[in-house]
Structure 1
């Protein structure tokens, strides 16, 4: 009986340690710095940061809003193009900013002005969706200065 005690203890310890690291094996996503510059037409851009504190990557696959169609764009050089998904790296972030990756709202259902808020739902390949409130800022808003 005693000869089985050591292997069982080692196996139990290994299972416990494996369980401790399981959270790090998943993406742990959060969103910050979300905003939309006040649109001047029926189209608008949206910006935000998606942080991943987990040990597994994920992908943003789509964005939905009651406001109308939303597409995901990346900017390569001077060219903007719609993409099907963007990677959210493990222990990293996906940044949407003016002149870079951004959300594009097309055919807005109603006029938005500074002080309004837009609700978007971010959909991912592996993680559950995240709902984000995106405040509408002035058309010239600069997140680095807050103005």
Structure 2
């Protein structure tokens, strides 16, 4: 009888563990897609970067860093009360989006190694808390380019 009880207890424990694993709050991986990426042609030795990251997954994520061959110092900034301040990460909600746009949250490329020209492209790699990195080519647009005004 003890052997049957032990086997039954083990089966119940295994079923409970599997149920908990399946019902974890993680819900799977974020499903990230980047669109609308661009960089206005820089007029000084720094530049801004803008894009939208859409998350169609049921799990939230965070953009934790950005790297680029253009600059060893790529930072993320938010704009609050018309003041720009550096942040360590941006949240990307589940079934939502992170929008980096002029006048709002954005990327800053400091101490450029070269000045990209309109018509060129700048490669960046986006690093996330959960999702795999995504490499994006930012088309270089006119210095005054603003797709929100179109």
TM range, normalised to the smaller chain? 0.7 to 0.9
Q: CA deviation at 1:25?
A: 2.7
* Candidates 23, 43, 46, aligned match of 1:40: 43
* 1:144 CA displacement: 3.3
Structure 2: which 5+ runs fail to align? 1-14
The Cα of 1:143 is off from its aligned counterpart by: 1.0
The residue that corresponds to 1:135 in the other structure is: 139
TM norm structure 2 = 0.80
User: Measured at CA, do residues 36 and 141 of structure 1 come closer, stay the same or move farther in structure 2, by a change above 3 Å?
Assistant: same
Give the distance between the partners of 1:87 and 1:101, measured in 2 at CA. Answer: 11
Divergent runs of 4+, >4 A: none
CA distance in 2, matches of 1:66, 1:140: 24
Q: Among 28, 31, 35, which residue is 1:28 paired with?
A: 31
User: Counterpart of 2:4?
Assistant: none
- Aligned match of 2:57: 54
State the aligned residue count.
Answer: 129
What CA deviation, in whole Å up to 9, does each residue of 1:66-85 have, x standing for no partner?
00121000111111000000
Alignment partners' CA distance in 2, 1:135 and 1:41: 18
1:84 aligned to 2:88?
yes
Unmatched runs of 5 consecutive residues or more in structure 1: 1-10
- Partner of 2:147, secondary structure, is coil
**Superposition CA RMSD, Å:** 2.0
